[in-house]
Every structure is written in structure tokens, then in C-alpha cells.
Amino acid sequence: MKLTFLGTGTSQGVPVIGCKCEVCTSKDSRDNRLRTSAMVEVANKRIIIDAGPDFRYQMLRAGVTKIDAILLTHEHKDHTGGIDDVRAFNFVDYPIIHTIHIYSNTSTIEAIHRDFHYAFASDKYRGVPEIKTHTISEKESFEVEGIEIIPIVGQHSERFRSVGYRIGKLAYLTDMNHIAEAEIAKLESVEVLVINALRWEPHSSHFSVEEAIKIIERIAPKRAYLTHMSHRIGLHSELEHRLPKGVMAAYDGLEVEIL
């Protein structure tokens, strides 16, 4: 199984439009962070987690010509805004149409139907994305193309939950601010854990670096990667020295093999 980080930035991305801070003006490519997304390649299938506003460019940059499914963590636009661009995958083998299957919890799938209503209309116009949505139970594992996926639910803010996903020895959690004990229990023996860490200072809807590290220590994976970082987290080159052993800041394009 291979995990590729397609984007590791918070909702505004890094650099932030108009910002002149040292991170936003850094020449280190690892300080350029598109909106948070990842690709998991397993058993000859390619699963994308989240499809935000940078989805099109992320697919081009990673050279992806075929995807098998999209898992969405929650409805925020930095995770869903690029869904219209699945059209390209619909038509790659035209006249064969590849419908794109999207999985998430009830509230997220409802939001997709609201936001992209034209894709689900009875009188669709030509060229709309061909999407089939699948509402998952937050409490039960589900299968995508024969691959078992376990949802891990966390609290994002008072109003929103975010669904993380465990695929074998990999767990991917983003946009969480709290995770209940019963959900942490589902992460036992995970070897690679991805978890969101916005910045060093606490935040109302995201883990800080320290909060993320506390969760990592509980789960004790072999390797942990931080994602969904803001420009306020500091330069990537300095993060490497500030994080404990086994905890790394992810960066766009990073590939992780999970055996």
C-alpha cells in the first residue's frame, strides 16, 4: 500500500494570498501546501481522500489518470470544492463513462447533493459530473472495491464531525479537534497515522501540534505524519527539528510505503 500526500495545507493553503510571512515567501517547496488531500493505492485500486479546490491540479501534478473512489472526511469546501472536476475521469475512456463513487457520512453526502445539485438532477445538462454517492454508517466498516475501510469519527467543531479512515495499517484523520476513546480504540496497531495539526497555538476546530502529539503517543504508531498545516506552523526545515522522533510534518508530494 502506498500513501501519497496530495495536499497538506489548511483551508487557505500555503502561501496565503497576500501574506508576506517567512513561510509564505519561503523558497523551500515543502512550505507550499495545497489544500489537504491524499491518495491511497492498494490492491491495484486508487482511492482519493478529499477533493478540495486544488483537486484538478493535484491530479495533474501526481499524474493520475484513473481513480476508483473518493472518500470525503466532511463537507467543508477545502475538502469538497473540486468535485466538479471528476468529470475528466468520467470521460477518459469515452464513449465508456466511468462513474465516480463518493463515500461519506450522511451529513457530508447531503451537502454534496446540495452543492452539486446539477449532477443529481433528473434533467441533467450535458457534461455534468457522473457521480454516485454512498452514505456510510459512522459505526461500521464498509468496502470499496473489495478493500475494507473503517470510519474513525472525530469532533471538528461543535457543529461538524469529521470522518477519518483506517485502511489496514494506515489511519488518516484530518480536521479534528477531539476524538473519543471509543474511536481511538479502533486505531490499535496502526503503523502509519496521519493526523491534522494546524499550528502550535490551540484552535477551536483543529488539533494543535501538541494535541496531535498527545494522540499520537496514545496510539503509538511506528510513524506519524502531521497534515492540514497553516503558515503559522513555521518553516518546514525547522519543524523537522522541533517534532519528536517518529513524528514528521508531511509535505505535498511525500510518498509513504506501508508494507
> Exposed, middle or buried, 48 (CB in 10 Å: 0-12/13-18/19+)?
buried
In the bound state with Zn ion, the residue whose beta carbon lies nearer, of 79 and 90, is 79
In the bound state with Zn ion, the residue whose beta carbon lies nearer, of 128 and 155, is 155
Residue 249 near residue 236 (C-beta atoms within 8 A): yes
In the bound state with Zn ion, the residue whose beta carbon lies nearer, of 44 and 204, is 204
In the bound state with Zn ion, the residue whose beta carbon lies nearer, of 54 and 183, is 54
Q: In angstroms, what is the minimal distance from the CB of 70 to Zn ion?
A: 15
Q: In angstroms, what is the minimal distance from the CB of 162 to Zn ion?
A: 6
Residue at grid coordinates 475494507? 148
Which residues are near Zn ion by CB under 5 A? Answer: 11, 16, 19, 21, 24, 76, 78, 175, 231
Q: In angstroms, what is the minimal distance from the CB of 72 to Zn ion?
A: 11
Q: In angstroms, what is the minimal distance from the CB of 94 to Zn ion?
A: 33
